[in-house]
Structure formats: structure tokens, C-alpha cells
Amino acid sequence: MKKLFILPLLFIGAISMSANAQTEVATESGSRIEFSKEVHDYGKIKHAGDPYCSFEFKNTGNEPLIISNAKGSCGCTVPTWPKEPIAPGASGSIKVKYDTKRPGPINKSVTITSNAINTPTKVLRIKGEVGQAPKSGAPVNNAGAPAKQ
């Protein structure tokens, strides 16, 4: 009779522990970073046009978010990011400056490193096309210097 009574208790205990473990995973403690966009498209931009774009984000976790680094894929892509911790529920932005004096297609990335538990390393992208430099307004003398007589 005792065995009949203990067996259901063990079964109920096992189910209870399993449900508790699933709840703990769902409420894992830490910071989380969520971006409003992960790609910025400049479209067709004028030569030496506005070089800045911004990536807005929010800390959706329950601990402060710390962005330890942001690195462009080359020297023409320069990110700036908040150095102070972002509180849970707070927002911030990463600003990226691209050298728009380089004509041609844009396809660059910015790698973000943080303490976020969902994505500690996140790659953001910029794309578009920079137009050709305007032609100089100065006249060109193709005739050369006049010959002496």
C-alpha cells in the first residue's frame, strides 16, 4: 500500500520539477539587444552626401546591456556607440559614418559585441550606391602654351 502511495507522489514531483525548469529557461536572467532594423539602405546617395545613419536598439532583458565594441568592416565605415550601460527597458543607438566621397556601390558591415544573452555578436549592414564626383568647373587648357616665334 505504501508503494502505491509513494509512486504518484514521485510522478507529481518529477512533473513539477520539469515545469519549474522550463519556467526558469523562459525567464533567463541577462541583457537582450533588439534592433529596430539590421540593414540601412542609403539608396542612391550624392558624392560627399550625408554620411550618417543610425541603428536604434532596445535592451529587452532584465540586466544592464554593455556594448563592448563596434567595428566597421573597413576604415571607410566608422561606428560610434554608447559606452555606458543601457538599463533594462532603455533604448540607445549606434551611429555609423560612411565615407561618401568614394563613388560606387556600398556593401559594408558593422560588428557589434555586447553582453546580450540572445546575440552577443551582431552584424549590422549598410548598403547603397554613391554617385560620381561632380566635374570640376575649371576650364582645361588642352592646347598647351603658345609657341614662341
Phi and psi, residue 5, nearest 5° = -80, -40
Out of 7-21, 46-60, 113-127, least confident range:
7-21
Q: Give the residue, 34 or 5, on which the prediction is more confident.
A: 34
Give pLDDT tens digits for 22-35: 444 456 899 999 99
What secondary structure letter does DSSP report for 76?
A: T
Give pLDDT tens digits for 65-100: 999 999 999 999 999 999 999 999 999 999 999 999
| Side-chain half-sphere exposure of 72, counting CA atoms within 13 A | 18
Model pLDDT, residue 140 = 57
Q: Facing residues of 45 across strands?
A: 130
Q: Domain ranges in the chain?
A: 33-130
Model pLDDT, residue 136 = 73
Was domain 33-130 assigned CATH 2.40.100.10?
no
Distances (CA, A) of 75 to 51, 98, 108: 14, 9, 10
